[in-house]
Chain A
Amino acid sequence: MGLLDYFRNSQPKGTANVAKERLQILVAHDRAERHRPSYLPKLQREILDVIRKYVDVDMNAVSVNYEQEESHEVLELNIILPDTVRNMM
């Protein structure tokens, strides 16, 4: 690092901070996946099958979310019904 660089580089311009931010997001995501019960994908498929007996919903219309909190677990189901169903009711 020369004299001019010394004045120019007032703050670190490395990419380590980018690496750290990306890792923090990625690792949090990986860990959330890891702690999900293994039956979730099957559960999602079966729920979808039942709903599709009655309503023509899209494959992606059911989202299953699993969250672990200190004393309890939350299993959240979100089903998006198509517009036509609402019109029929």
Chain B
Amino acid sequence: MVPRRCRHTQEEGRNLARIIVITSGKGGVGKTTTSAALSMGLAQRGRRTVVIDFDVGLRNLDLIMGCERRVVYDFVNVINHEANLNQALIRDKRCDNLYVLPASQTRDKEALTKEGVGRVLEELSQGYDFIVCDSPAGIEHGATMAMYFADDAVVVTNPEVSSVRDSDRMLGILASKSRRAETNAEPIREFLLLTRYDPQRVETGEMLSVKDVQDILSLNLLGVIPESKAVLTASNSGVPVILDRESDAGQAYADAVCRFLGEDLPHRFIHAEKKGFFNRLFGG
């Protein structure tokens, strides 16, 4: 019997990688943090995973992954046949199943051609279970290239008006300008990942709740990542936050990975911790 490497690819009857785009439209909501955490989580659960930085000119994934000093060749070099994939891929030192393909810092974003990106993804598809595409912000070339070939989309959203609106806009683009849309294939599976969530502010009515955001976007909820000091601490030292198992954000990302792989887990970190009687009485 052929070993089951990946459930989703088995379902489609072909043994190719599943391509996941991490997108949002709005900048600064946590796409790169999520790309790093999700790809590390998938790799730790035994899936061969490669994470690609599509933010040409403003590369940061290598920093968040802690491999910035090992970058020799990049995604654009591979597209332009200046290096092969094996030369450009950086193997993660913490997890053997994880590889990083960094973006170019010097080139123009137009360097990502549809043919070139398609060829690289095709080549990677043969040897990996998951290809995670870290999209740049905005709806321009880099972002459309990151989403074009996707099978799944994780829409990273903050509980804040402009982020929710931009996410809805991205959903429209996913539904009309992706390869799956253009070839009338089965639509991209879309997931919502709500980040920087502050349950306390939600309870006082200062912040949109999970339900509020879901009422508007109505997506499959992959996870809720609480606002957490651990995220900055992790990026300071180049360690994907999912490796900080003690932290709330790390645990929330680990749950999200399990859900992505089909487990049914209850959502955590969405309710504020109950204050004691004395705290309520005297303020705190």
By a beta-carbon cutoff of 8 Å, the part of chain A in contact with chain B is: 1-3, 5-6, 12-17, 19-20, 22-24, 26-27, 30-31, 34
Determine whether the beta carbon of B283 is less than 8 Å from that of A34: no
| Closest residue on chain B to residue A20 by CB atoms | B212
The interface residues of chain A, by DSSP majority, are classed as helix
Determine whether the beta carbon of B161 is less than 8 Å from that of A31: no
In the complex the two chains form, what is the Cα distance from A17 to B261 in whole Å? 34
* Chain B: interface residue total (CB-CB under 8 A): 24
A1's partner among B169, B209, B283 (CB-CB below 8 A) is B283
Identify the interface centre among A6, A14, A23, A30: most chain B CB within 10 Å of its CB. Answer: A23
Which B residues lie within 8 Å of A23 (CB)? 161, 164-165, 208, 216
Q: Does B168 contact A (CB under 8 A)?
A: yes
Determine whether the beta carbon of B172 is less than 8 Å from that of A31: yes
- Binary contact readout B191-233 vs A (1 if CB under 8 angstroms, 0 otherwise): 0000000000110111111001001100000000000000000
Which B residues lie within 8 Å of A2 (CB)? 281-283
In the complex the two chains form, what is the Cα distance from A2 to B278 in whole Å? 10
In the complex the two chains form, what is the Cα distance from A14 to B209 in whole Å? 12
Shortest beta-carbon contacts, A-B, top 5: A14-B205, A12-B205, A2-B283, A14-B206, A34-B172
In whole Å, how far is A18's beta carbon from the nearest beta carbon of chain B?
A: 9
Which A residues lie within 8 Å of B164 (CB)? 23, 27
